[in-house]
Structure 1
Amino acid sequence: MRKLSEILMMIFKKTVIGAFLLYVINVCIQETDLYIVINPFTAFLAGFLGLPGVLSLAAIYFFVFP
C-alpha cells in the first residue's frame, strides 16, 4: 500500500502536468476562439486522462458554452 505522501505527490504531479497541457492546448487553439478554463479540477482531469481528457474538455466547452 502506498503512503499518503506518495499519493498526494502523484496527484500534485498529475495536476501540474495537466495545467501545462491545458496551457499548451490553449495557446495552440487560440485562433479558433475556444478557451478551456484552467482550474484545479480541469488541470487534474487533463493530467489524469491525458490527451483524451483534454479533447473531452474541449468538446464539453464547445457544445455546452457556444
Structure 2
Amino acid sequence: MTVSKKKGRSVDRERVSLTQPHEVQGWAKRLGVSEERLRAAVGKVGHVAYDVRAYFLSGRERDDA
C-alpha cells in the first residue's frame, strides 16, 4: 500500500476516501469528474482507486445510467 505523508496527513493513494472533503475534491480533480460522479462510482465499484479509474475508463458509467 502506498502511503504519502504531506502536511502531516497520511494519504492512501490506492483507496478513494469519501470521508474528508479535501480528499473527495482531490480525487475528483485527479480523475476529471464531479464529486457527485465520484461518489456514485465508489458506491458501485468500491474504494479501490484502480477500480474507480477503470470504471470511468471502461464506459460502464454510461451503461449504468
Structure with the greater alpha carbon radius of gyration: 1
TM-score class, shorter-chain normalisation, is: 0.3 to 0.5
User: Which structure has more RCO (C-alpha within 8 Å, separation ≥ 6)?
Assistant: 1
TM-score calculated relative to the size of structure 1: 0.35
Structure having the larger proportion of residues in helix: 1
